[in-house]
Amino acid sequence: MAANPKSKTRNQKSVVLGVTGSIAAYKSAELAGLLVKQHHNVFVVMTADATEFVTPLTLQTLSKNPVMTSFFDEKENWRPGHIELADNADLLLIAPATANVIAEIAHGLAGHPLTAIALATRAPILLAPAMNGKMWENAMTQENVEKLKSRNVEFIGPEEGMLACGYEGIGRLWKVEDIAFRAEFLLHRHDRLIA
């Protein structure tokens, strides 16, 4: 990765924004823009499926940093970029978070950079789920959510409304402005805890 997560001003925080393969992935562009407006150094990490909904170039332009989509993005450097991001993150925010990525994190899987960062980071983690309501309410998903909450992973949403699949119900990505506000709160809370 060309950008250095350590090159930030004193008050600037490093936010790793994870984007997964949900139809709501297009909203990550607005979220990246809001985080940059809050003066954070934003590093976007996308799953392969997420790139089908929004382009890495869009998120690179908005975040002003390279976007990581696979372990092969790290070829330029001997040091694993995903570990550097994990080490330097002040917050890992995954929005949208699919049922699949929630399950991967809950079970400690690290098959792509985003879940590897989740496994390696010591920063707070905030997940903003987005999926079909039946998937969200499924007992397995709820077990994974409870397992992550017991490990101090924070959740925001999902909310109720019309879903992309045509159903009305719970599963919509929480409002982007509220996700950015919650991220800001967690960054300040983390500052107070380590002060």
Q: Strand 168-172 relative to strand 159-162: parallel, antiparallel, unpaired? A: antiparallel
Is the residue at 173 inside a domain? yes
> Residue 66 in 3-state DSSP?
coil
Tokens encoding 44: 């976007």
Cα–Cα distance for residue pair 187/35, rounded to 1 Å: 12
Cα–Cα distance for residue pair 181/186, rounded to 1 Å: 9
Concerning whether 165 is annotated as a catalytic residue, the answer is yes
Is the residue at 8 inside a domain? no
Give the domain range for residue 171: 14-194
Is the residue at 59 inside a domain? yes
pLDDT of residue 185: 95
| CB half-sphere exposure, 159, CA atoms < 13 A | 10
pLDDT of residue 54: 97
The reported pTM is 0.90
- Number of compact structural domains in the chain: 1
Is the residue at 88 inside a domain? yes
pLDDT of residue 64: 95
Is the residue at 47 inside a domain? yes
**10-residue averages of pLDDT along the chain (195 residues):** 49 94 96 97 97 96 94 64 93 98 98 97 97 95 98 95 72 95 90 61
pLDDT of residue 114: 98
CATH number of the structural domain spanning residue 20? 3.40.50.1950
Residue 155: its H or E element: strand 154-155
Give the chain's radius of gyration (CA, Å): 16
Tokens encoding 143: 């077990």
Is the residue at 1 inside a domain? no
Q: Which of 165, 167, 185, 189 is catalytic?
A: 165
Is the residue at 75 inside a domain? yes
> Residue 72 in 3-state DSSP?
helix
Interior angle at CA 37, CA 34 and CA 40, nearest 5 = 95
